[in-house]
Amino acid sequence: MALAQLMVVLDATVVNIALPSAQADLGFGDGDRQWIVTAYSLAFGSLLLLGGRLSDLIGRKRTFLLGLVGFALASALGGAAQSFGLLVAARALQGVFAAVLAPTALAVLTTTFTVPKERARAFGVFGALAGAGGAVGLLLGGLLTQDLDWRWNLYINVCVAVVAVVGGILLVPSAPRTGPRPRLDVPGTLLVSAGLFGLVYGFSNAESDGWGSPATWGFLAAAGVLLTAFVAWQRRAGHPLLPLGILRDRNRSAAYASVMVAAIGMFGVFLFVTYYVQTTLGYSPIQTGVAFLPMIGMLVLAAQLGTNLLVPRFGPKVLVPIGMALAATAMVLLSRLGVHSAYAPDVLVPLMLMGAGMGSIMPASMQTATLGVDRRYAGVAGALVNTSQQVGGSIGTALLNTLAATAATDYVAAHQPATASAAKAVAAAAAVHGYGVAFWWCAGFFAFGAVLAGVVFRRRSQGLSLTSTPSTAGPVASTPRPGTSVPQPRLEAAAEPMLIDV
């Protein structure tokens, strides 16, 4: 499961470093290269809920293996692409199978590890890789592009998938279906897929064409209408794609919001710190990846300590706000970077704080987001985690990039250079100033996340026992809703999650 998650997450960043080499090899223009990234994120973001529901419908082991094989074949197709169109098509196909693979992996963890101590350890590993995947992608992308060829940024997925498929066949349990075969909510699937597509595309278009573009607001407005219609349909659907009871739980809603806030902030770290160390400090792609290693180390350490020791003792209401506060502090420190700052301690210390913060946020939030969910809806609950992460990343991409570019432009206008050499110095200072503004906004997002998590997460004493977790429970009673002939499944009352002492 961890290998599958790593493959999906790092593929969102590993290709970025290969773009210049791919562009030179295939001969496409600057205006087209964004589609190498956007094609993946559009397919991935818009199909996540469908992918999560498929694992509930046709079996998690079967769906997991299907996602792995499909992702590997799409990666091989992209690596062998001899044209821009084929590369974009392969990236979109990667996104389709990633939307199947990511929520299924999380659903398998949710339904397999039910003993609290084992569950904490599993989600510690899984959450650490979810948070560190972007940094691993930067390091791996630099190594593969510099020492081998840009195509190996795609071929590497085939190597990882082979190991994961063997592990999936041998280790993932096959759970027999109990009760009647569930049905797919086709209208709900179409509404939410189109709505998420509009949301992700709208934010992607804002990054490239600006917030004033009619396409930006048109797609975002359409997304709002479609997602509203989706919620209304789920209230009356006989077999809802997303049972709204999943979102009514305070702990679960707080976990989804925490993952979204963390994704926005992580974008600021990866994008602007990468720009800073490469353009201001003059680091190579490989050196840039190595520069993130201390953050990865702290993230893994914090994830293991948090999920195995701190979450069972204090719960997410304590650990997640602390992680948000650490991440906000890291952003404030990064906002103080200047043209003449050095990696140690000006970049190193904030990165380590950021790693500790993300290691406290992600595993605890992921574990809470899927804790106590009825086994029948584990795939959808896992898909919502990935959807929150994807939407947060899209918001961060568009919003922070716009804020940084605007701040840099205003800085140049306020410091008109007199000579060519002065213009170069002003441009460098303007870029760093723009990064600083983006870091301050990230700090604000994390501060908001700390308050939100502290308020919305329940105290441990308010939860219910997990002695009858719905993951192992049988069919539950349901109450018919007006206007429907088929009763809508509801989550059990015992599904309200609580992390208990071991």
Given a cut of 50, the residues of the chain with pLDDT beneath it are 461-502
| pLDDT for the residue 466 | 32
Structural domain range at position 23: 2-172+241-467
| pLDDT for the residue 322 | 93
- Other CB atoms within a 10 A radius of the CB of residue 120 amount to 23
| pLDDT for the residue 330 | 94
Beta strands in 154-280 (DSSP E): none
Residue 284 maps to a domain: yes
Alpha carbon 263 to chain centroid distance?
6
Q: Give the domain CATH number at 143.
A: 1.20.1250.20
Residue 223 maps to a domain: no
- How far is the C-alpha of 336 from the C-alpha of 163, rounded, in Å? 43
The two structure tokens encoding residue 398: 């568009």
Nearest to 35 by CA among 91, 75, 78: 91
Looking at the 3D structure of the chain, how many domains does it have?
1
Whether 18 and 141 have beta carbons less than 8 Å apart is answered as: yes
Residue 280 maps to a domain: yes
The two structure tokens encoding residue 391: 């939407």
Run of H or E including 68: helix 60-79
Run of H or E including 158: helix 152-171
Residue 230 maps to a domain: no
The two structure tokens encoding residue 436: 């600083």
Run of H or E including 4: helix 2-10
Residue 492 maps to a domain: no
* 193, 129, 298, 142 alpha-carbon torsion, rounded to 10°: -90
Helices assigned H by DSSP within 80-115: 84-112
Residue 165 maps to a domain: yes
- How far is the C-alpha of 49 from the C-alpha of 381, rounded, in Å? 9
DSSP code, position 148? T
Residue 12 maps to a domain: yes
| pLDDT for the residue 348 | 93
Residue 44 maps to a domain: yes
Helices assigned H by DSSP within 306-377: 311-314, 316-334, 348-370
**How would you label 493-502 residue by residue, b for 16+ Cβ within 10 Å and e otherwise?**
ebbbbbbeee
| pLDDT for the residue 481 | 41
Whether 185 and 230 have beta carbons less than 8 Å apart is answered as: no
| pLDDT for the residue 469 | 40
Token pair 């309200």: residue: 496
* Direct distance between the N- and C-terminal alpha carbons of the chain, in angstroms, rounded to an integer: 24
